[in-house]
Homo-oligomer: A and B are copies of this chain.
Amino acid sequence: MTRSAQWTPVPVPAGTDPHTVPSHWFNLVPSLPAPVPAPVEPEDTGDQDAWGPRIALQQRIRLDAVRAQDSASEPFLAIPERVREELAAIGRPTPLLRARALERYLETPARIYLKREDVLPTGSFKLNSAVAQAYFAAEQGVDTLVTETGAGQWGHAVAWAARRFGLKAVIYWAGVSARQKPGRKALIEMLGGEVYSSPSDRTPVGKALLRDGRHLLGSLGTAIGEAICHAAQHPDTRYISGSNLPHVLIQQTVIGQETKAQLAALGERPDTLVACVGGGSNLGGFMGPYLAEKAERGEELLLLGAESASAPRLTEGTLRYDHADPEGITPLTKSYTLGRDYELPETHVGGLRQHSGSPIIGVLRGEGLLDAVAYQEADAFETGRLVLSTEGMLIAPESCHALRAAVQRAVQARESGREEVIVACVSGNGVLDLDGYLAHR
């Protein structure tokens, strides 16, 4: 049979070659303009209360390999071959899509590129880090992983990765999100994950919140507290995080490295990078590999974080030491915070719904490298419907915030006539968030 010479079949089947996946994680920390403030022990409790010294507790319940990453000073950390294979198998490198239909609709001279983390098997970027941490856990001989989840995307990713590496997964899920998403809950359970709605009556932290009638809707913070409790009480279990901490941001830098290579192949240089920001791991992973370029180009390269107006840490919070959980069993870390007593309202944007965030994001924002903007949920979903009706992608409520910022830049570019190159990270897909879309129809 003849075959036209026009067709260049993919030389290697997509999803099967680990060598198309970055060989190293990029370590953001040495590239920051200021050191990341170390966690400290709270003075008011010290080592006197039931939880003892917080930092020692963290060291006991965390995986050895991630603790090593948190204190690494090398600019690149090798990705284990088995992790690269898994990253290839889940579909990395993910596509970089030129959003031409959205551009046409906006009548903008800007060129909008979307980094498509929404196409990963669990529907969000969270899987990049879950795969790495599950691998480290399996290497360390750990039996069970326990974690918290806000919107459910991290919990889903952990259940997925745990299953792939033969581990058990226990997930404390911010109650309001868990109740909103029966489909995602069912999926996590079908993957073998144990799910508990937080605050729960399974841990001292959850019991205290229920007893006092505080944070009854649940939040990432309440779930963090409960997951740590759980780990403290189960010696065969390790506690892992999907956000905030340096190792998570580092593990997410596959996103930014791929984006750089893909843009370079197109001969493009970004003017604006935009991502939504909750704990900061998609933003950090996406923008981290651009820190050297940011240092060089200054205001010519805009780094923009889009947050939820229901948890406006970067736009209205303060940069100070605070606990990541309302009960205060985490060490104090320095980041933008609304205070651990801030009662988060009910929203469909569970991934951006937390009172504090990442110390690395704190440095970026504090040093003036990161701009920020906050959006109301209804406005974000409006952008989501625009993206669906132009590009045909149903994106996660969190990602809608990033896209809203991208759209606003593109509209400004129309007014100024500037051929701005805007690159947005699409952190997840919204198929399991359809109810949120429908609530704002």
Contacts and interface: CB of A to CB of B under 8 A. Distances in A.
A399 to B, nearest CB: 14
A104 to B, nearest CB: 10
Given A19-B7, A164-B392, A388-B190, A13 B266 contact: yes
Given A2-B76, A101-B164, A190-B385, A14 B13 contact: no
A163 interface: yes
Given A19-B6, A258-B9, A14 B432 contact: no
Contacts of A192: 389
Given A186-B434, A432-B431, A75 B265 contact: no
Number of copies: 2
A4 B191 CA distance: 35
Interface in A258-296: 258, 261-266, 292
A434 B16 contact: no
Interface string A177-194: 000000100110011100
Contacts of A432: 431
A1 B24 CA distance: 12
Contact of A183 (B3, B94, B190, B434): B434
A15 interface: yes
Contact of A190 (B16, B93, B123, B389): B389
A262 B78 CA distance: 29
B75 A1 contact: yes
A392 B91 CA distance: 12
A15 B10 CA distance: 12
A203 interface: no
Nearest to A385: B190
A89 B191 CA distance: 31
A239 to B, nearest CB: 22
Given A186-B437, A266-B16, A24 B7 contact: yes
Given A8-B19, A15-B96, A431-B432, A190 B393 contact: no
A95 interface: yes
Contacts of A160: 392
Contacts of A186: 434, 437-438
B10 A265 contact: yes
A385 B186 CA distance: 12
Interface in A3-38: 3-4, 6-16, 19-24
